[in-house]
Amino acid sequence: MRLKMCSIHVKDPATAHAFYTGTLGFDTLMAMPEYNLFIIKNPGADDTATGLLLEPSDNPIGANYMNAVYDAGMPAVVLGVPDVRAEYERLLAAGVVFKGEPAEDPSGISAVFDDGCGNFVQLHQD
């Protein structure tokens, strides 16, 4: 058994796909715009990699969940990076809005940003 796919609710899957691939650097695993279906994968991963479905929040349950998590200030997903501070600077220069500067705690170094699609996303240093 392995993790095949997980999802994150987003306001607009096409916009989220553009952000997650164009700004963050993920690759497309599947894109079917006519079905509002977009799945991304880690950069350079093969097609058997775990996918992240950019789930439309057009269902009231999904929208309520996404909004409640966002309103609570909680990250919806954690992304691993080798250097949080360097990634923070790169994304800041690309116009990404962070909740604050990178911080260190017992779990490591992290920073949280707004994906502009209804979610906070945490970067965590590998």
- Residue 13 is predicted with a pLDDT of 98
DSSP 61-96: HHHHHHHHHHHTT-EEEEEEES-HHHHHHHHHHTTP
How many Å apart are CA 114 and CA 111, to the nearest integer? Answer: 10
Per-residue pLDDT of the chain (126 residues; tens, 9 = 90+): 989 999 999 999 999 999 999 999 999 999 999 999 999 999 999 999 999 999 998 889 999 999 999 999 999 999 999 999 999 999 999 999 999 999 999 999 999 999 999 999 999 999
- Residue 91 is predicted with a pLDDT of 98
- Residue 115 is predicted with a pLDDT of 98
Query: Of 41, 125, 44, 33, which Cα lies nearest the Cα of 81?
Result: 125
- Residue 25 is predicted with a pLDDT of 97
Q: Taking the model in full, what pTM does it have?
A: 0.94
- Residue 70 is predicted with a pLDDT of 98
- Residue 85 is predicted with a pLDDT of 98
